[in-house]
Structure 1
Amino acid sequence: MKRKLIAAIGVAALSATVAACGSDGDSGGGGGGDADSITVWLMDGSAPQEWVSELNAAFEAEHGVKVNVEVQQWDGVQDRVTTALSEDGTVDVLEIGNTQTVGYANTGGLADLSELSEEPWNENMLASAEVDGTLYALPWYGANRVVIYDKSVWAEAGAEVPTTREEWIEALELIDENTEAEPIYLPGQSYYVMGGFVADEGGSFAVEDGDEWRGALNTPEAEAGMEFYAELQSFSESPTDNDEASPQQSTEVVPNQEVASWIGLGWEAAGAVAAIEEAGGEADFGYFPIPGKTAGELGHVFLGGSNLAVSERAGDKELATEWLRMATSQEWAQRYVDANNDGVVPNRTDVTAEPGAGSFAEAMVASADVGFLPPLTTGWANVETEPNPIKELMTKALNGDDYATAAEEADSEITTRINRE
């Protein structure tokens, strides 16, 4: 492959699914708790069956009530949660994405959990669970992206694992010059990856402006972040108008062409390995954190994950809070991390993750302290609705459009959407 010319600048995977302990396992709505039971909604794939079973057995033995776990699918979950939070007794405890917590809290749907605020929570995760100093959810787990690379291709090229952005580019140049592989697969619209580079520069997608928010892409920081993204993307054969899910990079791209490296989550790495092996091949991946501007700092990464909350209209808020207290305690949080083979970022500072040397988890956990979150406000969901103005800006920039003009248009749209409840 020959490198393209640069146009003007343009959950750790969890292998097991939750069992519906004490329930029929259906993903629909069900009754909330009463004097004899509580209902917990967990997302498909969020917790190993053994952990859930043992936790609920311990809780039931201590409190003499039954725990009904109902597994929810991510597709369409926001509508189901919104409906459940508006009804009495539908659900007691529920898992919600960390970027969704503020929105649900602002509707009045989540109970105040400030009595649990003194626990040693991971500060980066805690930010997504608080609104105006009030705790409305508890951090559960985090996950972030790392660079996944083909060891054999890198060895053929004589490329070494980088510790800085400059070394990263040098490695891609070696791969481009000495192999037939695509140095990096990077879609034009992987906006959370780009957001990390913006955060490296001290910028953000949007900033608070008095009582409102305004887009912040037409800034030197965002432009610098986009410039580095464009430099990386120039080594990719991907179009500039698609994201990592269209096509799915882990199962539709990487297994079907020679890709030297890509940026992904744990479940994507596992999916790529499975797809390659299913096709009769053998995956030989290595992993490293996204490098920072200097050897002494790693690049910022979007810290995704989930929180656990109690419905304000729960059938039994007291019991629901006690289940939440147990599930996120040091003992059960440590068990959760261990059960996931250290494939998640711990929710507490007194929980340790000791991933194996050279594993995805090792690279992921290394970046946890430099995780960033998008603007924590109800209106952020409006920004991410298609057509996403950040994605549109990225494509324009990569195609050589004037950055300032494109960014000004994106900021105007972001400002309108983010301030709309």
Structure 2
Amino acid sequence: MKGLRGLAVGAAALAVAVAGCGTSASNTGTAGSSGPKTLTVWLMDGSAPTTLTDALNKEFQDSNKDVTVKYEVQKWGGIQEKLTTALTSDTPPDVIELGNTQTPKFASEGTLLDLTGDASNLNGGEWLGGLKDSLTWEDKQYGLPFYASNRTVIYRTDLFEAAGITAPPTSNDEWLAAIEKLKTANAANPDFQALYLPGQSWYTLLSFIWDQGGDVAKKDGDKFVGSLDSAQAKAGVDFYKKLVDASGTKAPKDTDEAKPQQMEVFGTGNVAMMIGLPWELGGAVKANPDLEKKTSAFPIPSKTAGKSAPVFLGGSNLAIPAGSKNVDLAKSYLKLLSGKKYQDQLGAAGTVPGTSKDTASLASNPVGKALAASSANGKVTPATPKWAAVEAGQNPLKDMLTAYLTGAKSLDQATGDANTALTALLGG
């Protein structure tokens, strides 16, 4: 498919190079002050293509006399600790990129600049809704969306055709019916899996819970409490089990999509579908180039025919440290980056633009089209600094899935125990 390689690299694997750097005698002042100034920008490794950052930094410098963009690429490993140190120093960077689940933590600590009053000047009317929620803390906006990516159902077009499936499923019932057709058509292959679905793919689980009208947690006063024991959340967990049982998946029930890497399993050629990110398809194609012309994608189906399920938007936000000495310049830089010109380049690179609803550049191929269609219905995890403890520790959602899928616990017991653990983490 045309453009697949660029798309499949995604937000996690695009190479980013230093686009422009330099120093000056002064790092203070605003856009209107005289004398040389340096605007320090930290973006994460893999977030934007070099062509974008080269052009962006050059245009900004050309438009701002005596301003040099000191562009520094950061690694995700250890970035939270590095940001914690930098944001409390006397010389923080002027523009930073944050993971969307990291933003509430730094906003709550008072180390990010309140940009609520600047939203309209930063293309606020076009912001991606799910990411906007992730940068909101106590009803104020502490940044702007940068980009996002989400999961779609990546599938083998040749296997679908051979099984007599003429169109991608658009409901859960159609999805289950397609699985049965695929299993029947490939009954002679003992290694065949209609859908590869690991036991602990909790980001995928979120789609099913949200689709049923539930959530993992809800606001209770000034804190969040678990809501996994609701009827809607239980229905989402139960559908996950239905997919696992129906699919013929050979994936472990006690690990997630990284153990083993599901793209490697898909690349063997014995899997008809996986629920994954664009870069995972890229990895499978790299290992098995024959798949490039045999793969496409469709949005995760909903229980309601003709609709797609909500998806978790993994992505990044951009923010200005509260201690920046170049606030006006930083705002001008973000204004330039949030415009359609550079947002279109993000879309062309294979990620969902954060501040532009125009996804035409992204939807230029089938995989990008599915990604764009899904992102409009995107959501994020609860906007609380304490969510980090859920992901970093013994994730109750993973334990819940394994316990229910293996039969170690009933649905009520598994969701109830997970809900107790989740409430403790969010309230502790």
Task: Indicate whether the TM-score tops 0.5.
Answer: yes
Aligned pair 1:416/2:420, yes or no? no
Alpha carbons of structure 1 residues 281 and 353: separation in structure 2 relative to 1, 3 Å: closer
Asked if the contact 1:97–1:307 (Cα under 8 Å) also holds between the matched residues in 2, the reply is yes
2:353 corresponding residue in structure 1: 346
**Unaligned 5+ runs, structure 2:** 1-7, 29-35
RMSD over equivalenced CA pairs, Å: 2.1
Aligned pair 1:331/2:341, yes or no? yes
1:222 corresponding residue in structure 2: 233
Q: State the AA in 2 paired with 1:377.
A: T
User: How far apart are the structure 2 equivalents of 1:357 and 1:53?
Assistant: 24
User: How far apart are the structure 2 equivalents of 1:93 and 1:208?
Assistant: 30
2:271 corresponding residue in structure 1: 259
SS at match of 1:68: strand
1:4 corresponding residue in structure 2: none
Q: State the AA in 2 paired with 1:327.
A: L
1:37 corresponding residue in structure 2: 38
User: How far apart are the structure 1 equivalents of 2:291 and 2:131?
Assistant: 38
Per the TM alignment, residue 49 of structure 1 is displaced from its structure 2 partner at its CA by: 0.7
User: How far apart are the structure 2 equivalents of 1:268 and 1:285?
Assistant: 12
User: How far apart are the structure 1 equivalents of 2:185 and 2:19?
Assistant: 54
SS at match of 1:147: strand
Percent identity, please: 38
Per the TM alignment, residue 377 of structure 1 is displaced from its structure 2 partner at its CA by: 0.6
Asked if the contact 2:143–2:318 (Cα under 8 Å) also holds between the matched residues in 1, the reply is yes
Per the TM alignment, residue 282 of structure 1 is displaced from its structure 2 partner at its CA by: 5.8
Asked if the contact 1:103–1:378 (Cα under 8 Å) also holds between the matched residues in 2, the reply is yes
Alpha carbons of structure 1 residues 349 and 141: separation in structure 2 relative to 1, 3 Å: same
Q: What TM-score, normalized to structure 1?
A: 0.89
1:274 corresponding residue in structure 2: 286
2:102 corresponding residue in structure 1: 100
User: How far apart are the structure 2 equivalents of 1:113 and 1:33?
Assistant: 21
User: How far apart are the structure 2 equivalents of 1:281 and 1:144?
Assistant: 21
Alpha carbons of structure 1 residues 357 and 158: separation in structure 2 relative to 1, 3 Å: farther
Per the TM alignment, residue 106 of structure 1 is displaced from its structure 2 partner at its CA by: 0.5
Per the TM alignment, residue 367 of structure 1 is displaced from its structure 2 partner at its CA by: 1.1
Alpha carbons of structure 1 residues 32 and 223: separation in structure 2 relative to 1, 3 Å: farther
Per the TM alignment, residue 335 of structure 1 is displaced from its structure 2 partner at its CA by: 3.8
Deviations, residues 86-131 of structure 1 (Å, cap 9, x unaligned): 1121311111111211111011111111232223123332111221
2:206 corresponding residue in structure 1: 195
2:17 corresponding residue in structure 1: 19
Alpha carbons of structure 1 residues 416 and 155: separation in structure 2 relative to 1, 3 Å: same
Q: State the AA in 2 paired with 1:40.
A: V
1:8 corresponding residue in structure 2: none
Asked if the contact 2:21–2:68 (Cα under 8 Å) also holds between the matched residues in 1, the reply is no
2:54 corresponding residue in structure 1: 53
1:313 corresponding residue in structure 2: 323
Query: Which residue of 341, 360, 366 corresponds with 2:367?
Result: 360
Deviations, residues 260-312 of structure 1 (Å, cap 9, x unaligned): 110101111111111213xx776621111111112231111111111100111
Asked if the contact 2:136–2:383 (Cα under 8 Å) also holds between the matched residues in 1, the reply is no
Asked if the contact 2:238–2:411 (Cα under 8 Å) also holds between the matched residues in 1, the reply is no
User: How far apart are the structure 2 equivalents of 1:155 and 1:350?
Assistant: 33
SS at match of 1:18: coil
Per the TM alignment, residue 157 of structure 1 is displaced from its structure 2 partner at its CA by: 1.9
SS at match of 1:117: helix
Alpha carbons of structure 1 residues 267 and 350: separation in structure 2 relative to 1, 3 Å: closer
Alpha carbons of structure 1 residues 32 and 191: separation in structure 2 relative to 1, 3 Å: farther
The alignment of Structure 1 onto Structure 2 pairs a total of residues equal to 398
SS at match of 2:214: coil
SS at match of 2:147: strand
SS at match of 1:225: helix
Moved more, 399-408 or 37-46: 399-408
Asked if the contact 1:32–1:314 (Cα under 8 Å) also holds between the matched residues in 2, the reply is no
2:251 corresponding residue in structure 1: 238
Asked if the contact 2:193–2:270 (Cα under 8 Å) also holds between the matched residues in 1, the reply is yes
User: How far apart are the structure 2 equivalents of 1:386 and 1:330?
Assistant: 39
